[in-house]
Amino acid sequence: MEKRQNFKHPKKGSKIEIEPIRKEKDIKSVLQLLSDKPRDLLLFAMGINNGIRVGDLLQIRVRDVRYLKSGQVHQIIESKAKKKNVVVINKSVRKALDKYLSDGDHKEDMDYLFQSRKGDNSPLSVQSVHGLIKKWTSAINLKGNYGTHTLRKTWGYHQRVKFGVGFDVIAKRYNHSDPKTTMDYLGIKDKDVDTVLMNEIG
């Protein structure tokens, strides 16, 4: 029997790069899109403001963040790296969290923050979040390839491009072994860094 080719799957040896959301107007468009979906709005806000893996976000329970004020953190152990890291509650996240916790659907402290709709108190799956992100970016007509790493990469991209944070600092947040790994992860090439040599001093 002739083997069918799966056109949705990359060819063996090829690599599909997941992209960050590079433009602030597109970030605002997604936030607007999710304004009436408190759970998804919080997921997006926490993802782009923290830079940790989606799988680690999904393990957070309501009790972990319910009483945190803006500027406070919740400590986690990363599932992949097995290293300590933190989830930061900044003003944007706290605003989305307040909206989610007051949406009329009572949430117990032991509930997963990002519960699935199955009704068995299980968190969303990474695969489900992957589908949600593709749905959101498609809904605002964003061209490119997006998925779970989009949230993590969006944080790093804007820390570097908008705020000028050094690759060494971003690498530490990502638990990358060196800044070059972070450059590759964010799709920032050597030529982009070379442009700083045109900045005149003196």
CATH number reported for the structural domain that contains residue 56 in this entry: 1.10.443.10
> Total structural domains in the chain?
1
pLDDT for residue 196: 54
pLDDT tier at 158 (50, 70, 90 boundaries)?
A: very high
pLDDT in tens, 135-144: 999 999 999 9
Q: In the predicted model, what is the mean pLDDT of residues 67-80? A: 93
DSSP secondary structure letter of residue 109: T
Question: Which helix H or strand E contains 86, and what residues bound it?
Answer: strand 84-88
pLDDT of residue 83: 86
Q: 18 lies in a domain?
A: no
The pLDDT assigned to 189 comes to: 64
- 19 assigned to some structural domain: no
Is the residue at 15 inside a domain? no
Residue 5 lies in a domain: no
pLDDT single digits (tens) 100-136: 999 877 889 999 999 988 767 899 999 999 999 999 9
pLDDT attached to residue 10: 42
pLDDT of residue 50: 95
User: Of 3-17, 22-36, 169-183, which one has max mean pLDDT?
Assistant: 22-36
Residue 121, pLDDT score? 80
Nearest to 31 by CA among 136, 105, 184: 136
Q: Is residue 6 part of a domain?
A: no
- How many beta carbons lie within 10 A of that of residue 59, not counting itself? 16
Give pTM, 2 decimals: 0.85
Asked, for residue 1, whether it belongs to a domain, the answer is no
Q: What is the pLDDT of residue 192?
A: 55
> Which structure tokens are listed for 75?
């400590």
Question: Between residues 81 and 128, which one has the greater pLDDT?
Answer: 128
Q: Residue 77: enclosing H or E segment and its boundaries?
A: strand 73-77
State how far the Cα of 20 lies from the Cα of 5, in Å rounded to an integer: 29
**pLDDT at position 136:** 98
- Per the structure, the complete domain to which residue 156 belongs is given by 24-197
Residues with catalytic roles: 53, 80, 149, 152, 176, 185
Query: Is 10 part of any domain?
Result: no
Confidence of residue 11 (pLDDT cuts 50, 70, 90): very low
